[in-house]
Amino acid sequence: MRGPVYAVVPAAGVGERMKAGIPKQYLTLAGKTLAEHTLGRLLSFSPIDSVIVSVSSQDPWWPTLPVASHRRVSTVAGGKTRAESVRNGVAQALMDGGEEAWVLVHDMARPLVRLSDIQALMEQCDEQGAILALPVVDTIKQSGEDLHIDSTVDRERIWRALTPQLFPAARLYEALSADLDGVTDEASAIERQGGRPRLVAGQSDNIKITVPEDLPLARFYLARQFETGE
Ligand code: CTP
Ligand code: MG
């Protein structure tokens, strides 16, 4: 990785499934908002030069956070979908950092990402890019529309994609400039262009806060990380 590394953090979602009345990134976990947890971790990782956050224009909460005025944090407009929000951030990284820039895309809703995982991702990344992922542990079924099982999928090489996901900014921008229908992570956009990003095994506590019961779970994982010195 030669050029500067920008963290691009999509944070323009409304958190519908969380049913909290405010976007979930502004909910509090151990006295800090999820957004502050996430950004605090990214900012403390020295290979990351700066952090670009995609924020909705209708978001009155973001400007109230102290981290919003951090000198290494800037914002871009959010999009209608996560992929559009990411594309806006990647465009900014390219403008600021040029063709050599790399982008590390990380969901604002994953406040528990470990620095050791980001480190492993950077070490194992090659020119194709790389993502954190977890091997599935359950048996996987393919169903018909009638919800009856058609087959059992061999889970040997099935992974769940997490974030961060790391790519050369120019390559990701090109991939995100194509049709984004059905693109739910950066790797899938790259795959459509024929790329084969590397999988790096992450930790299972890097959860995406999505539904109300994820908050007590996050509290538990955070305390455990604290106890074990992560
Ligand atoms: N995101 C974004 N722009 C959007 C939609 C989502 O930047 N138009 C961000 C979210 O803020 C979040 C990340 O993408 O940090 C992952 O998305 P998700 O977990 O789906 O968050 P929400 O879209 O906010 O939640 P929901 O789908 O339940 O409404
Ligand atoms: Mg969403």
What are 76-112's pLDDT values in tens digits? Answer: 999 999 999 999 999 999 999 999 999 999 999 999 9
Kindly report whether the global pTM for this prediction surpasses the value 0.95: yes
Domain ranges in the chain are 5-227
pLDDT tens column, 32-63: 999 999 999 999 999 999 999 999 999 999 99
As a whole number of angstroms, the distance between CA 105 and CA 92 comes to 13
The two three-digit tokens of residue 45, written as one number: 């990782």
- Ligand 1 binding pocket includes 117 (Cβ within 6 Å): no
Cα of 15 vs centre of ligand 2, distance in Å, is 7
Q: Quote the CA–CA distance of 133 and 57 in Å, as a whole number.
A: 31
Residue 10 exposure: Cα atoms within 13 Å on the Cβ side: 26
Please report which ligand is nearest the Cα atom of 108: 1
Q: Give the residue among 114, 119, 85, 97 at the shortest CA–CA distance from 8.
A: 85
Interface ipTM: 0.99
CA-to-CA distance for 197 and 127, rounded, in angstroms?
8
144 exposure class (CB count in 10 Å sphere: 0-12, 13-18, 19+)? exposed
Measure the N-to-C terminal CA separation of the chain; round to a whole number of Å: 25
Prior bond to 164 cis, omega within 30?
A: yes
Of 18, 26, 82, 106, best ligand 1 pocket probe by most atoms within 8 Å of the beta carbon: 82
Distance 154 CA to ligand 1 centre (A): 30
Return phi, psi of residue 163, to 5°. -125, 160
Residues with CB under 5 A from ligand 2 (ion): 13
Instruction: Please say whether the structural domain 5-227 has been given the CATH code 3.90.550.10.
Output: yes
According to DSSP, residue 47 is labeled T
Judge whether 131 and 34 are in contact, CB under 8 Å.
Answer: no
For residue 17, give the ligand 1 atom closest to its CA: 28
What ligand is nearest to the CA atom of residue 24? 1
For the Cβ of 17 lying below 6 angstroms from any atom of ligand 1, the answer is: yes
Quote the CA–CA distance of 30 and 11 in Å, as a whole number: 20
